Chain A
Amino acid sequence: MAQQVAVAVTETILAKAFGPNIEVRQGGLNAQEFAFAKEVSQFTHSTLVGTPKGQPGIDGILSAPAGALSGYGDVRGVASLTETSRDNARVLLDLAGDKETSAKNAGNKNVDLFIRANKIDSKTALEFVQRGPGFTNVTSRGTIRSINIFTSDKKVVTISGNAVKVCDTKGKCQ
């Protein structure tokens, strides 16, 4: 008991001094997936644990990092990661709908979707998101909780419920 308290106190002091200990555990992710998982972890300030390969619709579990005030191991969400090199912003809506169907078919709820869009910048993504209710429809049906688009100009356009924001890759939003 005393040892556990000592560990908790040490973790809290370290977290206050250096920030919480964010980790990314590879699980079934390959090297390219692992690299994106690190960006997602940095953006969400969460530890990301990769799921095994044989699971449709999701790629990782987001949890509070060791030493975070909410406590180690608190699950924050389920992550679905995908990537596109298309430059037509419509692909973002296609992917959001496809991933919603995939997650729903697999019985998942409240999934956070992360899309790496290699050829779409934040201005283009934001304009497309604001053209209609397509994205907010996805994030309000219960399967996908948020859509986070990592754009070519190193920003993240994030849609959560009905709110749309542009953030930097460290999670600081305008």
Chain B
Amino acid sequence: MSIDLAVRLTRPVRLASLLAGTERALQYILELPRGPSVHAEDYLRREPLKGSAVLESQSGSIKVAMKSYEDDPVFLFVSERGGDPITSEGRGTFAVVEVHGGSVGLVLAAAVAVALARECKSEIEDNRPYFSSDFEQSSDKFLMAIKGINVNENLRLAVAELRRSIAKG
């Protein structure tokens, strides 16, 4: 079952900035001296993507994974949402982070969404039931929520497990 985080894409985002932002967010979430290394590839072509690549409507599916945790990737793509058929509320271009349940993937999805939201100065949407108690939050509020005492139990355990695993490695 995929769990998605969506961020309104207000401008094309360079992959280099996105990956660097993801590493910073991971460092903060995991409380590590340095964020784990993150890389991206074109899912269908199975080719590594250069930092100069840009996230946009034609990007296809981008696989993002942490070094040493390649079996738990997240997938990033751009979706044109039509919004409400009558009011058009919610219409626009969104970057969607799709994760398929794994504990490492949950943490990575949160970090990618934070990096995207910071790049686009947008809110993180659709983050229930796995991430926090609100649906739309700024990146800072989202980070506070997932590091706070009311964090979703699955995510809290995932963070603890990943931190332990990285410390061992």
Residues of A within 8 A of B (CB): 28-30, 32-33, 36-37, 53-57, 59, 80-86, 90-91, 93-95, 97-99, 101-102, 105-107, 116, 118, 131-134
Contact = CB atoms under 8 A, between A and B. Distances in A.
Given A28-B100, A94-B126, A131 B86 contact: yes
Given A36-B1, A82-B4, A101 B79 contact: yes
Contact of A82 (B1, B60, B71, B72): B1
B3 interface: yes
Interface of B: 1-4, 6, 43-44, 60-61, 63, 71-73, 75, 77-86, 89-90, 94, 96, 98, 100-102, 105, 126, 128-129, 135, 154
* Dominant SS among interface residues on chain A: mixed
B2 A102 contact: yes
A134 B90 CA distance: 14
Point out which of B1, B75, B84, B126 has the most chain A C-beta atoms below 10 A from its C-beta.
B1
Contact of A53 (B4, B60, B79, B101): B101
Of all A-B residue pairs in the complex, the 7 with the closest CB atoms, nearest first, are A132-B85, A30-B101, A105-B61, A81-B1, A56-B75, A33-B1, A85-B128
